């Protein structure tokens, strides 16, 4: 089986590529390298540097590769940019995704696995943890665009019989995560502390998120190959972790002396409190998180210690 992984040179996508290769799949990667690194890909993986908004380039790729499966991770993921530039966000996350969906239908792809968001889709839930039936009330255009495509997938199943699986991620962290731009706070804190920069927490340090380590996320994408058809699943830990707890975990993992962060006003579009109910993934995907937060942060901190300043997004693989 041949899998086309969009965003496959990125943080999460590259771990999915590794998992699919280890499971014996043939893998083709699409990525525009705007937020990713060719160094994330193993040698020999067919790679196409293109933007999913480029319909003609995608058509040529599908004609050449004829994938059996699409795993869709390519996206505009910057929440703050989505607030500033909602049209750009929609062009990437809705229109670009529709290019893939139409070609998937045309080429009779067997399954479409979609990386959605659990951290930004539910807004400020009245009841926590949020499960998959929690009302969708995103606070930023990013959550709106990611959720919108879920409806297109369900519609394509109804109209054309295209099977799908939606994975709504919590806050994913781990090795290979970029600290550039609107990136994961674990990555940002690791890099800053390694350079003796005092991290800044936006808000009072009490905002909570549900942090899930990337190897657990990659396993969920493996399980989605055979389980969960036409369903939506939260992929997280079900544990609420504060911003300050993240700061302390990174500081301790790096072996630094006691210190305190800086504080700045909360940014627009950010959720105060969110963590996710993952029981449906346990029954429907046969998946449960395995990596504890402290263990995951320790692994991530060690990766940043070894790769700081080395892992360049300009290190590109050969382009097909």
Active site residues: 142
**Element of type H or E holding 81:** helix 79-84
Cβ-contact 234, 118 below 8 angstroms: yes
With both helix axes pointing from N to C terminus, report the angle between 243-253 and 185-194 in degrees, rounded to the nearest 10: 40
Cβ-contact 148, 75 below 8 angstroms: no
Q: How far apart are CA 315 and CA 171, in angstroms?
A: 26
**Element of type H or E holding 241:** strand 241-242
Q: How far apart are CA 75 and CA 93, in angstroms?
A: 6
Q: Which two tokens mark 175?
A: 């090795």
Beta strand pairing status for 26-31 and 171-173?
A: unpaired
Q: How far apart are CA 21 and CA 43, in angstroms?
A: 12
Q: Which two tokens mark 234?
A: 């939260």
Q: How far apart are CA 298 and CA 319, in angstroms?
A: 34
* Structural Rg of the chain based on CA atoms: 19
Who's near 197: CB < 8 A, 6+ residues apart?
A: none
Of residues 266, 299, 318, 74, the one with CA closest to residue 173 = 299
Of residues 174, 290, 161, 154, the one with CA closest to residue 223 = 290
């Amino acid at each position: 089986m041949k899998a086309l992984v969009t965003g496959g040179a990125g943080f999460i996508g590259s771990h999915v590529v590794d998992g699919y290769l280890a499971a014996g799949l043939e893998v083709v990667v699409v990525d525009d390298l705007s937020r990713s690194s060719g160094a994330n890909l193993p040698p020999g993986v067919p790679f196409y540097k293109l933007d999913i908004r480029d319909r003609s380039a995608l058509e040529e790729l599908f004609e050449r590769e004829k994938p059996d499966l699409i795993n869709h991770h390519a996206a505009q993921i910057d929440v703050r940019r989505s607030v500033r530039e909602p049209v750009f966000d929609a062009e990437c996350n809705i229109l670009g995704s529709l290019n893939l969906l139409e070609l998937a239908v045309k080429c009779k792809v067997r399954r479409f696995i979609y990386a959605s968001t659990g951290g930004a889709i539910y807004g400020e839930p009245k009841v926590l943890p949020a499960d998959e039936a929690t009302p969708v009330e995103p606070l930023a255009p990013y959550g709106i665009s990611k959720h919108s495509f879920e409806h297109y997938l369900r519609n394509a199943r109804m109209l054309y019989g295209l099977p799908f699986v939606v994975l709504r991620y919590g806050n994913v962290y781990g090795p290979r995560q970029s600290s550039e731009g609107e990136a994961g706070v674990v990555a940002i804190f690791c890099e800053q502390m390694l350079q003796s920069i005092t991290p800044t927490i936006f808000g009072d340090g009490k905002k909570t998120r549900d942090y899930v380590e990337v190897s657990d996320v990659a396993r969920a994408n493996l399980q989605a190959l055979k389980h969960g058809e036409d369903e939506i699943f939260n992929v997280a830990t079900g544990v609420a972790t504060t911003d300050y707890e993240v700061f302390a975990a990174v500081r301790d993992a790096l072996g630094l002396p006691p210190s305190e962060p800086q504080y700045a006003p909360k940014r627009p579009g950010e959720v105060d409190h969110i963590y996710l109910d993952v029981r449906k993934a346990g029954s429907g995907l046969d998946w449960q998180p395995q990596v504890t937060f402290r263990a995951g942060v320790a692994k991530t901190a060690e990766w940043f210690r070894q790769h700081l300043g080395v892992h360049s997004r300009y290190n590109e693989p050969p382009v097909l």
